[in-house]
Amino acid sequence: MGNGSDFTVQARQTEKTWDVEGVPVLQGHVSLPELSGINRRCQRIVSFYRLQERAFLKYCQRELRPWAEVQYRAALQNSAPLPCYQAALEFRETYRAGRLWSLYTELKENAAPGATFRRRWGDTWDIVTGFPVALSDFFPPRTRWKQILLRVAADEIERQEKRGLAQYHPDWRRCVRRYFNPANYYVTAEGVTFYYPMYALAPAAEGVPCFLYPWDSDPPLKKFGEI
């Protein structure tokens, strides 16, 4: 097997402002990965993040700008301070070793002072083939990995609530199962981190709930070279 960890990653930055009658009402910021030193098969990864950038800018244009214009005109009518809202799509690299590259991208919308909506996408790639790696690939065959991760999340929520570290919805046990998505994960040096959408398990103050399954758990996670 080849090793693809010698590539480089830089942030591709894009800024765009939308205005109404010459007044800025929405500012968009993009910071997504740009890869170099990769093989041809991995060009699909580059294309993936460029498509994600275009999708974000279209979302700002079609969804956020009309909403921001309504808020602008309401403020104008009421002689209130004119708002300028913020939206950003940014990435964070979480792991790179051998053939494995993992990161997440996150959409942040500041729709009101002190209020931020966050939506996260986790991506884990085989940098040699250019294809994504599934969460199930890290577990031995016939492992009931979904049930294992649901128990990890439940145990951690119970621990946090018992110690007063976080507050979850009263029906979080049902929501843990209902909103589990195997695509919502990324890899770190400690193991696999899986997460739930904002609001799915807890109030907005808790952000994006994340849970860790360490490499040396029972059953242990498979190292990528063994997949």
Shared-domain flag, residues 84 and 26: yes
Q: Are 106 and 12 within one domain?
A: yes
In the predicted model, is pLDDT for residue 75 greater than 80?
yes
- Does the residue 76 lie in any domain? yes
Regarding whether 166 and 87 lie in a shared domain, the answer is: no
Does residue 126 sit in the same domain as residue 145? no
Residue 213: inside a domain, yes or no? yes
Pair 75, 27 in one domain: yes
Percent of the chain clearing pLDDT 70 (strictly above): 94
Q: Residue 62 sits in a domain of what CATH number?
A: 3.30.565.40
* One domain, residues 20 and 127: yes
Give domain status of residue 23, yes or no: yes
Residue 108 lies in a domain: yes
Let me know whether 141 and 82 are in one domain.
Answer: no
List the CATH number of the domain containing 193: 3.90.640.20
CA-wise closest residue to 224 among 130, 121, 133, 131: 133
In a shared domain, residues 75 and 152: no
**Residue at which a domain ends, from 106, 132, 158:** 132
- Number of domains comprising the chain: 2
Question: What's the mean pLDDT when you consider all of the chain?
Answer: 92
Kindly state whether residues 117 and 148 are assigned to the same domain. no
For residue 116, the model assigns a pLDDT of 82
Query: What one-letter code names the amino acid at 172?
Result: W
The number of beta carbons lying within 10 Å of the beta carbon of residue 183 is: 12
17 and 122, same domain (yes or no): yes
What's this model's pTM, rounded to 2 decimal places?
0.91
* 132, 162, 195 - which closes a domain: 132
Domain boundary among 74, 104, 132: 132
117 neighbors 109 (Cβ within 8 angstroms): yes
Q: Which residue has the higher pLDDT, 89 or 128?
A: 89
* Residue 79 located in a structural domain: yes
Q: What is the pLDDT of residue 198?
A: 95
| Domain span at 106 | 8-132
| 101 and 179 both lie in a single domain | no
3 part of a folded domain: no
Is 161 or 113 the better-scoring residue by pLDDT?
161
How do residues 199-227 score in pLDDT, each as one tens digit?
A: 999 998 899 999 999 999 988 998 765 55
Q: Which runs of consecutive H residues, i.e. helices, occur in the chain?
A: 43-59, 65-77, 145-162, 172-178
Domain presence at residue 178: yes
* Residues 17 and 117 grouped into a single domain: yes
- Burial code (b: 16+ CB inside 10 Å, e: under 16) for 129-152 equals ebeebebeebbeeeeebeeebbeb
pLDDT of residue 195: 98
pLDDT-derived band of residue 38, with 50, 70 and 90 as boundaries? confident
Q: Rounded to the nearest 5°, which phi and psi values hold at 162?
A: -65, -35
pLDDT value at residue 112? 61
Tell me the per-residue pLDDT of 142-161, one tens digit each, with 9 for 90 and over: 899 999 999 999 999 999 99
- Residues 79-98: tens digit of each pLDDT: 999 999 999 999 999 999 98
Look at residue 1 and tell me if it is in a domain: no
Q: Per-residue pLDDT averaged across 155-175, rounded?
A: 96
